[in-house]
A = this chain, B = another copy of it.
Amino acid sequence: MEGLFDGIPISILTDSYKAGHNRMYPSCTKMVAYGEFRKGFKGKHGHDTDDTRLVVYGIRYIVETFISKKWTMEDIETASLFFSTHNAPMFTEYPFPKELFEKFVRENDGYFPVKLEALPEGSVVHVHIPVYQITAEDEYAPLCTFLETLLTQIWYPSTVATLSRRCKDIIEEAFEKTVDGGKLSPLLGSRLHDFGFRGCTCVEQSVLGGVAHLLNFDGTDTLSAAYYAQFKLNGGTPVGQSIPATEHSVMTSWRTEQAAIENMIENFGEGLFACVMDSYDYSAALRDVLPAIREKKVGKGGFMVLRPDSGDPVEAVLEGLRAADKVFGSEVNSKGYKVINGAGVIQGDGINIDTLRDICTAVEEAGYSLQCVAFGMGGGLLQSVNRDTMSFATKLSHIRFTDGTSRDIMKAPKTDLSKFSLPGILAVKREEGVPMVYCTPDAGAGEPLVAPEENLLQVVYDKRPLAVPPWESFSEVRSRLANEWAALPPCVDVLTPQIKGVIRGIREVQARWGGSAGNMTPPRKQSRTQAISSRLST
């Protein structure tokens, strides 16, 4: 099926100003930039501000869909026509690096001439760990940040995966307390169900966000994502599942809700199925309709899920549980909590990480096992986050000028120091199991502080797609996430003493050189390791 991107030249998949930046940089032979999250995820209630773990996910999609694509002379001509009318005022000619683009189409088979390193998909790290690093050299050095706009969009699947994983923590805790088998119960994977397709801004988002959620759970109605994960990322092995369920149109199309439910039982009553219950009057439906369909439902032997869809989320769940308990009865499990016979409740309205937590607490306090409850999260899962949620940004960190000197670069706005960036060519290495960040010497400028095989930043594109693609199956990515999330402490300062020394050195030079004149890192020809030692010793 054809899509949006047909005919759009890849050279315009960036911000306007990027097209002019090559002429705004100083003359240089190397530039390095990287992306990082600067804040941990937190709910609206401010819970968990002390948990700065995050899931990194989405580089494969960006590399395969965009960065690995060959540019053609025709693309550049199309872009050229566009840029000739894009400048203000009066739609005049906007600058863009046509000659550089043509050069790599001629000389590099049309592949964008940068090196890209990234953390493995599904990695769990803390804030400030570089997620990817871009290196551009020689005549292409000024194109280093041209792909920033596309790469920065990794914020989205990473943020959804982190939110979904944080919800899983809450559910795991409730399972440990109230469910036989605790967090190892096979029921856990279906407890947070993705209702978010229609609340997405578009189909592409539904795939990216939906797949990110599927890293943690297998419950989803976002078919686009379930399909993509299964067939494009997992060799056909299924990833996401759902159950037959009514919506309001089904309930209201019958002359009575009872008739609608009886038809559901007839068709799907031997398995799992769900019915939305608030088309007219939720309480009345629980009171009158549920007993009326009891016999038919029990006769079929399946599992019925009640879905409230309005009102107070906590109250709606408790009311549903009590009604189902009254009609179908319950047993007390080994942990002392009631498990309703063949029925449960899914709350799919008003769910975010905070209401999810509130419901877990209330259900436990009411004496029910959380295995009787599932959550449907729609816009709250796929469309409640933004780039500021975990403050993602891409920043330049190193430059080698044409005169052979080089400098580590650091943004540090006085008006918001949380927006500082890391200086240098960066590497990530585990110390006692925790990924930590180093500032490594430029090639040829000294011994690497982090050996390539220890560096968690792995090359995923090197001036062209790799001969052996570095991607793993979706199942392997899921396992990495699960293992690494469990193994990391919630909060760690990941800046090594080594990079702190470099930062301190830059700040001292800035202070000596005084306020406003600009970037104060001194030019240098000495080796990086010498520079670091001299800074650390000041």
Contacts and interface: CB of A to CB of B under 8 A. Distances in A.
A486 interface: no
A263 interface: yes
Interface in A122-170: 144-145, 148-150, 152-153, 155-156
A310 B419 contact: yes
Nearest to A198: B152
Contacts of A510: 280
B85 A251 contact: no
A82 B227 CA distance: 7
A154 to B, nearest CB: 10
A342 interface: no
Interface string A27-50: 010010100000000000000000
A423 B89 CA distance: 50
Chain A's interface size range is: 35 or more
A316 interface: yes
Interface string A275-299: 0001111111101110000000000
A311 interface: yes
Nearest to A25: B253
A272 interface: yes
Interface stretch (A327-335, A464-472, A515-523, A528-536): A515-523
Interface stretch (A214-222, A356-364, A434-442, A477-485): A214-222
A10 B2 CA distance: 10
Nearest to A513: B256
Interface string A397-414: 001000000010111111
A238 to B, nearest CB: 4
Contacts of A378: 387
Given A228-B8, A278-B415, A17 B241 contact: no
A73 interface: no
Given A8-B1, A230-B82, A386 B199 contact: yes
A327 to B, nearest CB: 14
A411 B280 CA distance: 7
Chain B CB within 10 A, most for which of A66, A153, A202, A278: A202
Interface in A415-469: 415-416, 419, 421
Nearest to A311: B415
A386 B379 contact: yes
B254 A26 contact: yes
A253 B396 contact: yes
A82 B1 CA distance: 17
Given A280-B516, A386-B379, A145 B249 contact: yes
A181 interface: no
A14 B223 contact: yes
Contact of A413 (B28, B86, B310): B310
Interface stretch (A100-108, A112-120, A203-211): A203-211
A248 interface: yes
Interface in A215-262: 218-224, 226-228, 230-232, 238, 240-260
Contact of A88 (B6, B94, B272, B310): B272
A172 interface: no
Given A8-B1, A24-B267, A311 B416 contact: yes
Given A4-B3, A16-B242, A280-B510, A149 B202 contact: no
A253 B515 contact: no
A159 to B, nearest CB: 9
A238 B85 contact: yes
A325 interface: no
Nearest to A384: B386
A19 B207 CA distance: 18
Contact of A516 (B5, B201, B287, B310): B287
Contact of A198 (B2, B245, B387): B387
Given A13-B223, A15-B197, A85-B230, 19 more contacts: A2-B5, A3-B65, A4-B204, A12-B224, A24-B246, A24-B260, A31-B253, A86-B226, A86-B241, A86-B242, A89-B241, A94-B242, A152-B198, A201-B201, A201-B204, A201-B205, A205-B205, A282-B413, A384-B386
27 contacts: A1-B5, A1-B6, A4-B5, A8-B228, A14-B197, A17-B221, A20-B245, A21-B247, A21-B249, A33-B249, A66-B203, A82-B231, A86-B241, A87-B271, A88-B218, A156-B200, A202-B204, A249-B395, A252-B519, A255-B519, A256-B519, A260-B518, A280-B519, A281-B413, A289-B517, A316-B415, A378-B387
Top 10 A-B pairs ranked by shortest CB distance? A284-B516, A256-B518, A311-B415, A249-B396, A3-B5, A3-B3, A310-B416, A16-B242, A257-B518, A204-B204
